[in-house]
Amino acid sequence: MENVEIARTLEDVADLLEIQGSNPFRVRAYRNAARTVEEHPVPMRKLVEEGADLTELSGIGEDMSKYIHQLVDTGSLELLDQLTEDVPDSLIEIGRLPGVGPKKTQKLWKELGIETVDQLEEAAKAGKVRELEGFGAKSEEKILRGIEAYRRHQARFKISEADQHVLPLLEWLREDDSVERIEVAGSYRRRKETVGDIDLLAIAEEGGSLMKRFTSYDRIEEVLASGDTKGSVRLASGLQVDLRILTAKSYGAALVYFTGSKEHNVRLRQRAIDRGLRISEYGVFKVEKGKRGKDEDEEAKERDPWEGELVAGATEEGVYAAVGLPWIPPELREDRGEIQAAETGDLPELITIEDLRGDLQMHSTWSDGRESIEAMLEGCAERGYEYFALTDHSQSLAMTGGMDEKKLRRQWKEMDEVVAKHDEIHLFRSMEIDILADGTLDLSDEMLEKLDIVLVSIHSRFNLPADEQTDRLLSALDHPEVDILAHPTGRLINERDPYEFDLDAVLERAAERGVAVELNAHPDRLDLKDTHLLKAKALGLPIVIDTDSHRTQDLDLVRYGIDQARRAWLTREDVLNTRSLGDLQAWLDAPREERAKHWRELSKGARKKKSRGAAAAKRAKKKSSTANEADAKAKKSGGP
């Protein structure tokens, strides 16, 4: 069992206990343990294997440790089985619907006998839910909308969840001696924020041996298909995984085909047709005159897939080169102009994790974080950052231990003490300040002025009418001290839709005011998302990629932000926290009305620096690269 699954099981227990009306402390203990497990960087099964003492983990006592052992050893939990004898486990789903929760679930169950989402929908549509005490017509409406959203989301996995399932499977498959190569294609390779299923492509000497290993993986719920070259399974988590075993000469073509997206493939195929070629998952073929002009999908079924002269297929580079293009990074393959850009040599030099110089949103024990200021500092320094910002919550978020003015001053004292001990990294005094419902900020102007960076965001009243929500955000942006707008749309992937507001108006105002916008890298948020970031980039807005960490290990989640940034064509120039400490400080110090101009000039500087760097990298690569199909093709076609 992977950590996500263990965590989910413990959450299930917590939900059932709460629906049953158990002691809140007991419920909380399971939730805390679930969180610890989910966020732990090492799989519990490894810890158990090594004989580690799980009670050393925060929130894990003797009982929890026993449960985790049981889950790792047997894949199930007796306690959960006992609970579901009294409380139907289908109620868990109901409790997780937006606008329901365990308390209401209990009522729906006890008073209306509702046990499934379908029954709840029926009852709500019949107007029975509104009759219950504590519900009403409005909450009935909300429940119906929640069900709709739930149905939309339930089929897809967050990319971080997919990672937890896929990486151990890959490790397992790679242990097979016959495997020459195995990669994940599909939306997973394009690093989409959610994936529908997983598409694996392998080259193996002994296809049969690999397929056998695949279908005997111990986390499988059901083998859906198992042939010589194609197999398909559903993991216990519900995630479907397809495996295709290929010959080396087709591997690149199959990677292109199964990486997609479908829309990208359609364009590529059209491009091939225009050149008298045919692209399929087997390769790129020369087509006899008179046979071209038809779209591949229609024809493919009837034809010998190997018909014609094979001109490329072993590598992706070769396939792209055959249609006169350089290799295109998977994150860009969404038919958003990448083929055009590739053709004219205008593909962006996408940002990488190494480009980041600091993290600008994280919490400590001063609000709802789990670790001290000093621990967070050391975590950032270990990751090679030049600077970081501590952004604990403001007072209106009481449940997070948000800080009022007095507490903030005390925090500054501790910051000073920590900074006095550490000169390896610069600390920015910051705070995540709540934007109140009327658009004012949850901290006095006097204190705002004293902060190095002012980061603002919305955490309440998500359901204001769109124009009020827009006004709320615009007023916050108008405040002269605001530097960064955090998680601007408020969505939680698969859980909560963005609040309704006019994003374009907000981005335009941010551009006017010289406010940066956040790409919150937490894989539950990824906010702004790719299409929004494209808009922000077009407006020339500085973008901050940060993690919203609540403990040091979260700092590594930044890679999901980088994935999303790359899907939005972002380069180092577009991102504020790729700048040196000096440049970032200068941007912060620039007068408001000059910030936009300042940013443009900074970006120009970054561009120059980058092109020098790129040239050097190219030289280095040329020296070390061996001649391969890609190089040969690229030379032949002249390259961009």
Point out which residues bind ligand DGT (CB under 6 A).
Answer: 186-187, 192, 195-197, 199, 257-258, 260-262, 265-266, 297
Which of residues 13 and 195 has its CB atom nearest to ligand DGT in the complex? 195
Q: Are strands 240-246 and 230-235 parallel, antiparallel or unpaired?
A: antiparallel
Q: Which residues of 416-425 are buried (b: 16+ CB within 10 A; e: fewer)?
A: eebbeeeeeb
Q: Which residues of 570-604 are buried (b: 16+ CB within 10 A; e: fewer)?
A: bbbbbbbbbbeeebbeebbebeeeebbebbeebbe
Residue 106 interacts, among Zn ion, Ca ion, ligand DGT, none and using kind-specific CB cut-offs from 5 to 8 Å, with: none
How many Cα atoms sit within 13 Å of 228 on the Cβ side? 4
User: How many Å apart are CA 171 and CA 180, to the nearest integer?
Assistant: 13
Does 199 participate in binding Ca ion (rule CB under 5 A)? Answer: yes
User: Using CB under 5 A, which of 99, 186, 313, 369 touches Ca ion?
Assistant: 186
Report, in Å, the least distance between residue 136 CB and ligand DGT. 38
Does 12 participate in binding Ca ion (rule CB under 5 A)? Answer: no
**3-state class of 131 per DSSP?**
helix
Report, in Å, the least distance between residue 486 CB and Zn ion. 6
Report, in Å, the least distance between residue 524 CB and Zn ion. 11
User: How many Å apart are CA 329 and CA 255, to the nearest integer?
Assistant: 12
Which of residues 334 and 434 has its CB atom nearest to ligand DGT in the complex? 334
**Subset of residues 421 to 450 that bind Ca ion, contact rule: CB under 5 A:** none
Which of residues 457 and 489 has its CB atom nearest to Zn ion in the complex? 457
User: How many Å apart are CA 126 and CA 123, to the nearest integer?
Assistant: 5
Q: Give residues with Cβ within 8 angstroms of 482, minimum separation 6.
A: 441, 454, 456, 476, 513, 515
Rounded (to 5) percent helix, strand, coil in the chain: 50, 15, 35
Residue 315 interacts, among Ca ion, Zn ion, ligand DGT, none and using kind-specific CB cut-offs from 5 to 8 Å, with: none
Report, in Å, the least distance between residue 447 CB and Ca ion. 49
Report, in Å, the least distance between residue 490 CB and Zn ion. 9
Mask 443-482, x = binds Zn ion (CB under 5 A)?
A: --------------x-------------------------
Residue 262 interacts, among Ca ion, ligand DGT, Zn ion, none and using kind-specific CB cut-offs from 5 to 8 Å, with: ligand DGT
Report whether 495 contacts 526 (CB < 8 A): no
Q: Which range binds Ca ion by CB under 5 A, 18-26, 187-195, 390-398, 423-431?
A: 187-195
Report, in Å, the least distance between residue 197 CB and Ca ion. 4
Report, in Å, the least distance between residue 279 CB and ligand DGT. 9
Which of residues 550 and 566 has its CB atom nearest to Zn ion in the complex? 550
Give the helix/strand (H/E) hosting 158.
strand 157-158
Which of residues 430 and 457 has its CB atom nearest to Zn ion in the complex? 457
Which of residues 250 and 549 has its CB atom nearest to Zn ion in the complex? 549
Helical H runs in 230-303?
Answer: 251-259, 262-274, 296-300
Which of residues 100 and 284 has its CB atom nearest to ligand DGT in the complex? 284
Residue 261 interacts, among ligand DGT, Zn ion, Ca ion, none and using kind-specific CB cut-offs from 5 to 8 Å, with: ligand DGT
Give the CB-nearest residue to ligand DGT. 260
Which of residues 548 and 629 has its CB atom nearest to Zn ion in the complex? 548
Does 197 participate in binding Ca ion (rule CB under 5 A)? Answer: yes
User: How many Å apart are CA 572 and CA 350, to the nearest integer?
Assistant: 7
Which 8-state DSSP code applies to residue 223? E
Q: Which range binds Ca ion by CB under 5 A, 31-39, 198-206, 529-537, 610-618?
A: 198-206
Which of residues 61 and 337 has its CB atom nearest to ligand DGT in the complex? 337
Report, in Å, the least distance between residue 341 CB and Ca ion. 25
Report, in Å, the least distance between residue 195 CB and Ca ion. 6
Inter-helix orientation angle 159-174/207-215, to 10°: 130
Which of residues 190 and 509 has its CB atom nearest to ligand DGT in the complex? 190
Which of residues 189 and 479 has its CB atom nearest to Zn ion in the complex? 479
Q: How far apart are the first and last CA of the chain?
A: 48
Report, in Å, the least distance between residue 284 CB and ligand DGT. 14
Mask 230-269, x = binds Ca ion (CB under 5 A)?
A: ------------x---------------------------
Q: Which range binds Ca ion by CB under 5 A, 70-78, 186-194, 300-308, 437-445?
A: 186-194
Amino acid type, 522 = H
Which 8-state DSSP code applies to residue 603? H
Closest to 464 in 3D by CA, of 472, 453, 456, 455: 472
The token duo for 536 is 């922000």
* The length of the chain, given as a count of residues: 640
User: How many Å apart are CA 270 and CA 279, to the nearest integer?
Assistant: 9
H helix count then E strand count, the chain: 27, 17
The token duo for 518 is 């956040």
Report, in Å, the least distance between residue 196 CB and ligand DGT. 3
Q: Considering CB under 5 A, how many residues would be counted as binding Ca ion?
A: 5
Residue 297 interacts, among Ca ion, Zn ion, ligand DGT, none and using kind-specific CB cut-offs from 5 to 8 Å, with: ligand DGT
Report, in Å, the least distance between residue 199 CB and ligand DGT. 5
Residue indicated by tokens 């052992």: 69
Distances 474 to 201, 532, 633 between C-alpha atoms, Å: 48, 17, 52
Residue 581 interacts, among Ca ion, Zn ion, ligand DGT, none and using kind-specific CB cut-offs from 5 to 8 Å, with: none
Helical H runs in 77-226?
Answer: 78-86, 90-95, 101-112, 117-125, 136-153, 159-174, 186-189, 207-215
Report, in Å, the least distance between residue 507 CB and ligand DGT. 27
Which of residues 223 and 492 has its CB atom nearest to Zn ion in the complex? 492
Report, in Å, the least distance between residue 363 CB and Zn ion. 9
Which of residues 199 and 432 has its CB atom nearest to Ca ion in the complex? 199
Q: Give residues with Cβ within 8 angstroms of 87, minimum separation 6.
A: 16, 19, 20, 109
Q: Which range binds Ca ion by CB under 5 A, 42-50, 55-63, 195-203, 475-483?
A: 195-203
Residue 260 interacts, among Zn ion, Ca ion, ligand DGT, none and using kind-specific CB cut-offs from 5 to 8 Å, with: ligand DGT
Distances 618 to 175, 614, 615 between C-alpha atoms, Å: 34, 6, 5
The residue ranges that bind Zn ion (CB under 5 A) are 457
The residue ranges that bind Ca ion (CB under 5 A) are 186-187, 197, 199, 242
